Amino acid sequence: MATFFQSVRQGFGRGSNKNNNPPKMNNGAPNQSYSPNSPMNSLSVSSSTSLDTAPPETDTIKYFFQEKYAPLNVKGNFLTLCACPKNVELGEWLAHQIVEQNRLLHGMLQVIQELNTLTGFPICNEQTCPTMSAGRLTYTWLVDGKAAKISAPKFINRVEKWIVSKIHDPVMFPTDPPTVAPLTHGVSEVNATGLPPTASPTAVVPSSPQDWIGKSSGFPQTFYKDCQGIMKQMFRCYAHLYHAHWENPFWHINKHEVLNMCFVHFVTVAKYYKLVADKEMEPMQPLIDIYIKQEKIPPEALAGHWAQQQASTNSSS
């Protein structure tokens, strides 16, 4: 288990975009607000929704929602990276996936946290990003039980610290094996697509209230819910990266393809294990639809474990 928590930082050097006239975009004014529970004040990550009054957004083209701006810097089926191997307990695999997604997201966030040598400020700062926005949406933070708008750099900093605290919490993400740790799920054989064997879908939907994902490996009963909470906050960071920083810096330094790769990998994991609700993904749905059409987010990921279990049950009955 300990090997799942050996994160390796990746560097992202500056590149040069051959297009001397990068597209311009208008992020628009937010008119809706989501409020995650503050990781600084509570272990819960449920969210409430509130509406802000704002003038209607003047819709303009968002270039990252166009197919010609959606290439990846890698090729392959991301399901091979997210499907649980047959000899790994699902709880441990989900823990590994959380750590890996945090590593990739951290690399993308480092890009916008780099200091501008001319201004002395990071690219994402209090002036450029006074709120944690994603197009029409503004994510708010619970402060003393009340939704509050805070700047994007503060929001992202708190999310990153909270995720790290979860990963290093020996109760939430145990690294010592339990006394008895039998596998609690079956395995499937190599399927028709040629993908590697995956954990049985029954592990995603525990058979009884007394059973839960990761129980045999020592994970607490709230583990899967916490994974959902962590992934939801990660998605909000990605939404901000695209809506506020796709052009500056990712397009300008020719790293938009790397951002796309990390995002597709993230969404594939989120869809496959039902870790982020579809409604939460709405700020990025046009781009997700492009990758679904291209099958870079494979159909198996869209089906999710629960649907696969139902299909398997029906075919065997």
Residues within the annotated binding site for Zn(2+)?
124, 129, 240, 245
Counting Cα atoms < 13 Å in the Cβ hemisphere of 78 gives 28
Strand partners of residue 132: 139
Find out whether the peptide bond into 249 is cis, omega within 30 degrees of 0.
yes
CA distance 246 to 203: 37
Which H or E element spans position 271? Answer: helix 256-272
Secondary structure (DSSP) of 57-118: P-----GGGSGGG---SS-S-THHHHSPPTTS-HHHHHHHHHHHHHHHHHHHHHHHHSBPTT
Query: C-alpha distances in angstroms, 279 versus 226, 284, 285?
Result: 18, 10, 9
Reduced to 3 states (helix: H, G, I; strand: E, B; else coil), residue 236 is helix
The single residue listed with the structure tokens 């939460």 is 280
